[in-house]
Amino acid sequence: MLSLILILLASLFFTGIVVRVKSLASGRKGPGILQPLKDVWRLLRKGTVFSETTSFVFQIASSIYFVSVLMAIMIVPFGKMKGLISFDGDFVFFAYVLALGKFFSIIFALDTGSSFEGMGASREALYSMLAEPAFFVLMGSFAMLTGHTSFHGIFTSLHFSSHVSYALGVLATFVLVMIAMIENSRMPIDDPKTHLELTMVHEVMILDNSGFGLGLFTLAVSLKFAMYGAIIANFFIGDVPWHYAVLVFFAVQMIFAVAVGLLESFMARFRMGHNATFIFTLTSASLLIFFGVLLVMGKFI
Amino acid sequence: MSLVLAYLVILAAALLSVPFLTVKWKGLATVAVVAANAVIISLLAANALMGEETLLTLSGTSVTGEIPIRIDALSGWFMLVINFTMLTGALYGLQYMKAYREQAANLSLHCTAYLLVQSMLTVICAVQNSLVFLFAWEIMAVSAFLLVIFEHQKPEVLRAGINYLIQSHLSIVLLTVGFIWVAYRTGSFDFNAIAGFSEQMGEASAFVLFGCFFTGFSLKAGFVPFHTWLPYAHPAAPSHVSGVMSGVLIKIGIYGILRMVLLVKTDFTLLGYFILFTAVTSGVYGVMLAILQHNLKRLLAYHSIENIGIIGIGIGLGTIGIGTGNPLLTTLGFAGALLHVLNHSLFKSLLFFSAGNVYQATHTLNIESLGGLVKKMPHTAVLFLTASLAICGLPPFNGFVSEFLIYAGLYKGLSGDSTVLLLSMVTALFGLALIGGLALLCFTKAFGVVFLGSPRQALRHPPGEAVQGKLVPMYAVLALMVGIGLFPGFFLEAMHGALTLFQLKMPGGEAAAGMPLPQGVRQLAAAIGWCATGLLALAALVIFIGIKMAGRTSVVKGPTWSCGYVGDASRMQYSASSFVRTYRKLAEPLFSIHKKKRAVEGIFPTDGWQETHPYDKVEAWLIDLPLRKLKAFIGRFRFLQNGNPQFYILYGVVFITLVIVIPLLVGAVEQVMEFLGKL
């Protein structure tokens, strides 16, 4: 329960910080931290424009996408405290429930019959397909290291004992950050702030969305960021007492948000054609973690 | 006994009378008999699942010996799966075949073949005499062939049918070799002889024996590289037959493999690795090819290969569990496999039925010419969407449950000791995750292009929703799918008897007899059930809030935003090919994709077009290449067939002369040798 509240809290300011860091980096003053939240609130109360081409899929998809992210957040634990949902193999449910949301966001884009949105949908489907194995192999490595098969079990019994395992922790963080960037279609995979529809993935998929639905999509983006931030934080919380853990949690979220902002300010987007190769490299990184774990456990012949 | 007798009487009466009925009654009679038989078989099967096995021994003939009929929990599970889809298939087919009402004789054959397929699938599950088993297998293969070639006027249908017929006979050859091997050594056709025999013969030969059976059954099930008949046969058949074939007919191969795992005694760990790697290859390869297809039913057929792969991963995992003596792996692996057998039979038949609706409404299966059907066929769209979600293994539907069980087993396997085990577990995890992602890509393409957007081509007839008679069996399938998704615990309890059979195979597994389902597995099932319910409830809540909000604010309809372009943008829509273009570029080295295109060029450009024809490299190497070589070799003797009757008479004379002369010559040579020997 605590993790759910903390993630919701973190999500309130996450996108705000990213935007603020970006504007500071480019020498502007920038909007307030809570501006993205105010935007969402405005959108949720606004009227909706539906395309004549769309069907019922378009009307339910944004809600299902939002719910899938919410369900996924309920699974994430906080230090020693379990998430609302916790069972053996809960991270499989985590990945699949997110995939459910993705399925709907893709067919949602196809529902409009627009060529731009189709393009975004095609890219989203391909990238998420390529990123999927990385997450499963990563969780498999940690399941092997700790002997537990739930988020909670893995995080509570994860001890970084040797130098090799520190290296693994860093690698795992890198993989998770990258998965978060892919999931949210941010730099270096995609630049949400370009002016041309042709260069985008997520943003182009929701071109025809408005009002309540768009509000949910925007809210889901910050929730997703905070969710991945929480998972990364869990790597470092371990079994420290909860009041320190809360501090660590917010520190990690803060660093994550600033890092995203800096990354988006100082890095150029990859060429779309190279993205697929890059994303598949993540799987090799997670395989590296797997072999590292084998090494740590002395099972590597 | 009385139930078995009643079954046989109904079947015989139906087979004899169906050809003489009028067209209208033929269909009704067939459905009635399928239903009656399904009820009888389900009674027997349900008893078996609840622990009350049916054991009968028919006296048989002097050739076959005694014919034991043993319906244990494994048979029971498969019988229930088979009969549910056979029944929904018959109900759907009743409406589907109305389009072919004038072909009375053809329909008689079709109905009879359908009844025969149902009964033979049941017999295969029940009978444990290898000779009778092979007979039933043969009748099933031939009747399935008859079902496939219903539209035999079309040359490609006949081609696909013959391809299937030949390949299913290859499977029979391999099974026959295996059974004869056992029967020759033990003198018994009883399946129990296989168990005794493999115990004596040593692990290596037992492995070869299992390999023989495995290959035979794989040809039916469609494991790569024995899958090449599937993508031809499924699109060629009428849709209800495709549903039945993909849903249950190929599962009989899985039943065979599982039965052999129970019978043959060999090194189970090695066997498990073998099955696991075959299965991962099948799964990934099947779905990778599926994405590239443009024919909706062909796409679904490739997905059957993928799902057989997922079932295989479960079987491999369970077999490794038997070999390493890990009860949790055994339970999770086989539970996942058995449940996926049921799940796949449900969503795949539903997908094929939906494809049938699309075909009968639009008269095309080429997804590039479809689009926007959701407005014309809302029910079919919802059914196809749910089945797509289920086949991608997404919660809260049934596909997730079985895939989750397999995932859980794979992660449990990661706590093992041996490096080989760990590496194969991570390979399987990698494969399964990749399959999941690829399936998502494939079904967003299939659903999105066929049902969403606006029509891509003008159709000759305006499409409309399918009749209610078609939709009712489809909704029945959907209800069962949702039921499994929400209450997986019930279905796990139901298959518990079958799981116990596999537990007993473990060293020291006798303790497992009569034990309840492991607490951990039960908790998992309950957890998934609750999560699925929660997900549905939460989604309903948010959608409800959305509707309420929409009621309070303004809702405007407008055209799709096409970045300032105000003309008709429907021609600019993303097509199926463009949707998977990046993927195709990535996968190109693995497949041979024939591409033809004409670019739009010049100051006054003409129409440009592009065609891609994906081709299976395995088929090119394993089927086409040997066939070409064989043809080239036999072609050398073509001069013999010169169409000249005199020559044919000459061949006859030469043949007769040889027949008479050779024995004489042999006799003469023998005499000479004898004479020389005396010297």
Q: Do A51 and B561 touch (CB under 8 A)?
A: yes
Nearest to B407 among A89, A114, A116 (CB): A89
Q: Is A113 left (phi over 0), alpha (psi -120 to 50) or beta?
A: left
Which of A63, A65, A148 to substitute to test the interface with B, most B CBs within 10 Å?
Answer: A63
For B97-105, what is the mean pLDDT? 88
Q: Is the pLDDT of residue A197 over 70?
A: no
Q: Which of A100, A157, A196, A200 to mutate to test the interface with B (most CBs of B within 10 A)?
A: A100
Q: Residue B513 has what pLDDT?
A: 64
**Neighbouring C-alpha atoms within 13 Å toward the C-beta of A183:** 28
Q: Residues B625-651: what's their mean pLDDT?
A: 90
Partner-chain residue, chosen from B429, B538, B561, that has the shortest CB–CB distance to A70? B538
User: CB-side exposure of B472: number of CA atoms within 13 Å?
Assistant: 10
Distance from CA of B558 to the nearest CA of A (A): 5
What is the structure's pLDDT at A193? 72
**B 529-588 residues with CB < 8 A to A:** 531, 534-535, 538-539, 542-543, 545-546, 549-550, 553-563, 569-570, 572-574, 578-583, 586
Q: How far apart are CA B61 and CA B64, in angstroms?
A: 5
* CA neighbor of B450 nearest in space, from A155, A57, A62: A57
Instruction: Pick A110's closest partner by Cβ from B389, B419, B448.
Output: B448
Q: Do residues A248 and A236 touch, judged by C-beta distance below 8 A?
A: yes
Average pLDDT, chain A: 86
In which band, very low, low, confident or very high, does the pLDDT at B195 lie, cut at 50, 70 and 90? confident
Confidence of residue A160 (pLDDT cuts 50, 70, 90): low
Per-residue pLDDT, A99:
93
Question: In chain A, where do the E strands start and end?
Answer: 48-51
Query: How many angstroms separate the CA of residue A25 from the nearest CA in chain B?
Result: 31
pLDDT at B271: 92
pLDDT digits (tens, 9 = 90+) for B652-667: 999 999 999 999 999 9
Task: Identify all chain B residues contacting A284, using CB atoms and an 8 Å cutoff.
Answer: none
Q: Is B452 on the interface with A (CB under 8 A)?
A: yes
Q: What is the mean pLDDT of residues B401-430?
A: 90
8 Å CB contact of B556 and A135: no
Chain B: closest CA distance from residue A227 (Å): 18
User: Is B374 in Cβ contact with A116 (below 8 Å)?
Assistant: no
Query: How distant is the Cα of B268 from the closest Cα of chain A, in angstroms?
Result: 23
pLDDT tens, residue by residue, A10-59: 999 899 999 999 999 999 988 888 898 999 999 988 888 888 888 889 88
First to last CA, chain B: 73
Q: From the list A122, A143, A211, which residue is nearest B414 (CB)?
A: A143
> B392, A99: Cβ pair inside 8 Å?
yes
Cα gap B501→B53, rounded to integer Å: 12
| pLDDT (mean) for B251-267 | 92
- Which residues of chain B are within 8 Å of residue A62 when distances are taken between CB atoms? 546
Q: Does residue B560 contact residue B454 with C-beta atoms inside 8 Å? A: no
Rounded Cα distance between B397 and B539, Å, is 14
**Mean pLDDT, residues B38-47 taken together:** 90
Task: Compute CA distances B358 → A111, B294, B445, whole Å.
Answer: 18, 14, 16
| Lowest-confidence segment of A137-146, B49-58, B234-243 by average pLDDT | B49-58
Q: How confident is the model at residue A199 (pLDDT cuts 50, 70, 90)?
A: low
CA B84 → CA B158, B346, B538, distances in Å? 28, 9, 32
Judge: A121–B579 Cβ closer than 8 Å, yes or no: yes
Chain B residues close to A107, C-beta within 8 Å: 385, 444, 447-448, 452
Residue with the bigger pLDDT between A182 and B90: it is B90
How close does chain B come to A209, measured CA to CA in Å?
Answer: 10
On the question of pLDDT at A196 being above 60, the answer is no
Q: What integer pLDDT is reported at residue B350 of this predicted model?
A: 95
Helix (H, G, I), strand (E, B) or coil at B372: coil
Neighbours of B521 (CB within 10 A): 22
Banded model confidence at residue A144, pLDDT cuts 50, 70, 90: confident
Look at residue B652 in the predicted model and tell me its pLDDT: 93
pLDDT-derived band at B629, boundaries 50, 70, 90: very high
Q: Nearest by CB to B560, which of A93, A114, A125? A: A114
- Read off the pLDDT of residues B287-332 as tens digits, 9 standing for 90 and up: 999 999 989 999 999 999 999 999 999 999 999 999 988 888 899 9
Q: Which is nearest to B253 in space by CA: B307, B332, B199? A: B307
Q: ipTM strictly over 0.90?
A: yes
How would residue A189 be classed by pLDDT, with cut points 50, 70 and 90? confident
Q: What tokens does A123 get?
A: 């890219």
Angle between helices A56-75 and A2-25 (to 10 degrees): 110
Which residue type, as a one-letter code, is found at position B413? Answer: G
The C-alpha atoms of residue B436 and residue B288 are separated, in whole angstroms, by: 11
Distance in angstroms (rounded) separating the CA atoms of residues B301 and A173: 40
Q: How far is B212 from chain A (nearest CA, A)?
A: 34
Q: How many Å lie between the alpha carbon of A301 and the closest alpha carbon of chain B?
A: 8
A45: tokens are 């109360």
Q: How far is CA A4 from the centre of its chain?
A: 15
Please compute the mean of the pLDDT values over residues A193-209 and round it to a whole number: 72
The DSSP element (H or E) to which A209 belongs, if any, is: none
Q: B329 touching A, CB under 8 A?
A: no
Closest CA to B414 of A138, A85, A236, A163: A138
Find the mean pLDDT for residues B434-452: 93
Q: Does residue A198 have a pLDDT over 90?
A: no
**pLDDT (mean) for B64-86:** 91
CA distance B202 to chain A (A): 30
Residue A263 contacts residue A187 (beta carbons within 8 Å)? yes
Tens digit of each residue's pLDDT (9 = 90 or more) over B527-584? 999 999 999 999 999 999 988 888 888 888 888 887 778 778 778 888 888 888 888 8
| Distance, CA of A279 to CA of A272 (rounded, Å) | 11
Q: Which of A21-25, A77-81, B439-443 has the lowest mean pLDDT?
A: A77-81
Percent over 70 (pLDDT), chain B: 99
List of E strands, B303-426:
none
Which DSSP letter does residue B229 get? T
Residues in chain A with CB shorter than 8 Å from the CB of B389 are 100, 103
Nearest to B350 by CA among B390, B312, B378, B377: B390
- Contact assessment for residue B57 and residue B92, using Cβ atoms and an 8 Å cutoff: no
Chain A CB within 8 Å of residue B397 CB: no
Query: What's the whole-model pTM score?
Result: 0.93
The yes-or-no verdict on residue A195 having pLDDT over 70 is: no
Q: What is the largest CA-CA distance in chain A?
A: 64
Contact B553 A107 (CB under 8 A): no
Q: For residue B215, what pLDDT band results from cuts at 50, 70 and 90? A: very high
In chain B, which residue's Cα lies nearest the Cα of A67?
B539
